[in-house]
Structure 1
Amino acid sequence: MPEWLEIAWRTLLAVAVLFAMTKLLGKRQVSQLSLFEYITGITIGSLAAYVSLDLEATWYLGLVSMAVWVGVTLGMEFLQLKSKTVRDILDSKATVLIKDGKIMEDNLKKERLTTDELMEQLRTKKVFKAADVEFAVMEPSGDINVLLTKENQPLTPKHLGIKVSPEQEPQTVIMDGQIMDEPLATIGLNREWLDAELEKLGVAIENVFLGQVDSYGQLYVDLFDDQIKVPEPQKKAALLATLKKCEADLEMFALSTKQQKVKRMYRECSKNLEKVIDEVKPLLTR
């Protein structure tokens, strides 16, 4: 067999084995590499190169070595799941960098992190003053997570005592000009509804790059032609306007009647509707 053909065959074999072993190790091997996993990735890659190019050595020994490395890594991951001590040894512990607005200089030195690097990491979290930080910790992965002080945290409906209903994830119903029937069925809709919504927007299905339906049943589309501007759905705004019109009508009815009993009824209904509008307004204006 010619050398170039043997190298091509070995390379294809190494790629297949490497892909299978990487799948076996799981997604964490790619997204959150620990120090040991980082070393494992480099070593397995080097062994794959050895299997591909070293024509003088026995090539299958490289596959044996790769299998041993993967087996050791799987064993380490199993031990990490069962023992916190093993996790602390292999992944190390999280390190507190800021506490109560005070930078922990000794911990910075321990992690070999300069003040400039710390401030850079804080700025990536949209924090520009260390004094605004209640708690900052460096995770074993190297990421820095930040908890702001109470007065610097963003205002949420919970802070205002407002309860909001859970929102379902948007469903992608059109992709690359093709209708996705399964997401449509998931939210209880069909192609006839989708065709009617597209007709309202004045858009043909083949011109839609991406179409999504939110939890309120509103369709948002992105077209292949970025120069064309599609009007945003106005169902929520129309509903809010209708509720306000009903409230105004009740007030007008209360003013137009001379019967006190009927007048009180209209005004009571108007007040109740006003309360309903105040409760649903955050949902209809976002």
Structure 2
Amino acid sequence: MPDWLDVIVRSLLFLAILFLVTKWLGKKQISQLSFFEYVIGITIGSIGAEVVTGLEQSIYLGVLSILTFAVIPFIANLISLKSKSFRDFIEGKGTVLIKDGKVMEENLKKERYTIDELLELLRKDNVFQVADVEFAVLEATGDLSVLLKKENHPLTAKDLHMAVAPIKEPQAVIMDGKILNEPLSTAGKSRLWLQTELEKIGVLLDNVFLGQVDMYGQLTVDLYDDKLQVPAPQEKPILYATMKKCQADIELFALGTENKEAKKMYSLNSEKLQEAIDKVAYLLKE
């Protein structure tokens, strides 16, 4: 076999082997590497490169070496699940860099971080003042986890004692101009409904790059032709307008009747409907 063809065959073979080994080791290999896993990854890559280009090397010994190094982190992970001390040694553990708004200088030096680097990490979390931080930990992965002081937390519905509806993930019902039946069913919609919604906004299915149904049952689309303007979903504004019209009609009924009991009933229901409108107005006006 010519050398150039041998290199191509070896490259394709080891690409497949490295891909399968990485899949077997799990997603952690490409997201949060410990020092140990980082070294293992470099070593496996170096072995693969050497066997691919070193034509005098035995390909079988290269495969055996890669499999050997792949088994090591697998065994290490099994031991880590049962031993915290081993896990701390292999994967490392978090270091507190800020506590009660004060920088822990000794820990900062221990991790070989400068104050400029710490401030940069804080800015990535949209924190610009150390005094605003209650607690900050440099994780073993190199990420900085930041807990702001209570008074610096953004207000939430819970803080305001407001009841909010649970959030459901949007469903991608159209991709590359094709309808996806399973997400469409999960969203509780039919193909007929989808076709009707596309007709409302004057869009052909073939021109839709991505279509999603949100938690309110509204369809939003992204078109292949970015120059085309798509109307915003109108379901929520229409619902808000309908509720306001119903409330106004009930008030007119109250004003138009001479029956005291009917007038009282209409007035009471008008007030209840207005209370309901006030509660959902911030959702329907989005």
TM-score normalised per structure 2: 0.95
Q: What SS does structure 2 have at the residue aligned with 1:140?
A: coil
1:80-99 alignment to 2 at 5 Å? 80-99=80-99
Q: Distance in 2 between matches of 1:76 and 1:16?
A: 24
Letter in 1 for 2:206: E
Select between 213-222 and 58-67 the one with higher mean Cα deviation: 58-67
Residue equivalent to 1:61: 61
Q: What SS does structure 1 have at the residue aligned with 2:116?
A: helix
Determine if contact 2:173/2:183 at 8 Å carries over to the other structure.
yes
Q: Distance in 2 between matches of 1:259 and 1:191?
A: 49
Residue equivalent to 2:231: 231
Superposition CA RMSD, Å: 1.4
1:135 equivalent to 2:135? Answer: yes
Determine if contact 1:209/1:221 at 8 Å carries over to the other structure.
yes
Q: Distance in 2 between matches of 1:240 and 1:106?
A: 58
Letter in 2 for 1:49: A
Determine if contact 2:218/2:233 at 8 Å carries over to the other structure.
yes
Select between 71-80 and 258-267 the one with higher mean Cα deviation: 258-267
Q: Distance in 2 between matches of 1:28 and 1:179?
A: 33
Q: Distance in 2 between matches of 1:245 and 1:150?
A: 43
Q: Give CA deviations for 1:73-109 in whole Å, capped at 9, x if unaligned.
A: 1001111222222211111111111112111111111
Task: Tell me the CA shift for residue 59 of structure 1.
Answer: 2.9
1:6-25 alignment to 2 at 5 Å? 6-25=6-25
Task: Tell me the CA shift for residue 56 of structure 1.
Answer: 2.4
Letter in 2 for 1:56: E
Q: Distance in 2 between matches of 1:268 and 1:274?
A: 10
Q: Distance in 2 between matches of 1:234 and 1:207?
A: 21
Determine if contact 1:51/1:60 at 8 Å carries over to the other structure.
no
Determine if contact 1:172/1:211 at 8 Å carries over to the other structure.
yes
1:267 equivalent to 2:253? Answer: no
Q: Distance in 2 between matches of 1:12 and 1:273?
A: 68
Task: Tell me the CA shift for residue 253 of structure 1.
Answer: 2.5
Structure 1 unmatched runs, 5+: none
Q: Give CA deviations for 1:131-175 in whole Å, capped at 9, x if unaligned.
A: 111111111100011111122111111111111111221111111
Q: Distance in 2 between matches of 1:238 and 1:7?
A: 65
Residue equivalent to 2:159: 159
Structure 2 unmatched runs, 5+: none
Task: Tell me the CA shift for residue 4 of structure 1.
Answer: 2.1
Residue equivalent to 1:186: 186
Letter in 1 for 2:208: V
Q: Distance in 2 between matches of 1:44 and 1:154?
A: 45
Residue equivalent to 2:147: 147
Task: Tell me the CA shift for residue 178 of structure 1.
Answer: 1.3
Residue equivalent to 1:44: 44
1:212 equivalent to 2:207? Answer: no
1:70-89 alignment to 2 at 5 Å? 70-89=70-89
Determine if contact 2:34/2:92 at 8 Å carries over to the other structure.
no
Residue equivalent to 1:256: 256
Letter in 2 for 1:84: K
Letter in 2 for 1:75: I
Select between 31-40 and 184-193 the one with higher mean Cα deviation: 184-193
Select between 158-167 and 254-263 the one with higher mean Cα deviation: 254-263
Task: Tell me the CA shift for residue 216 of structure 1.
Answer: 1.4
Task: Tell me the CA shift for residue 185 of structure 1.
Answer: 1.8
Q: What SS does structure 1 have at the residue aligned with 2:50?
A: helix
Q: Distance in 1 between matches of 2:209 and 2:13?
A: 38
TM-score normalised per structure 1: 0.95
Determine if contact 2:174/2:180 at 8 Å carries over to the other structure.
yes
Task: Tell me the CA shift for residue 63 of structure 1.
Answer: 1.5
Q: What SS does structure 1 have at the residue aligned with 2:173?
A: strand
Task: Tell me the CA shift for residue 50 of structure 1.
Answer: 1.7
Task: Tell me the CA shift for residue 57 of structure 1.
Answer: 3.1
Residue equivalent to 1:122: 122
Letter in 2 for 1:160: L
Determine if contact 1:10/1:52 at 8 Å carries over to the other structure.
yes
Letter in 1 for 2:273: L
The number of residue pairs the alignment matches comes to: 286
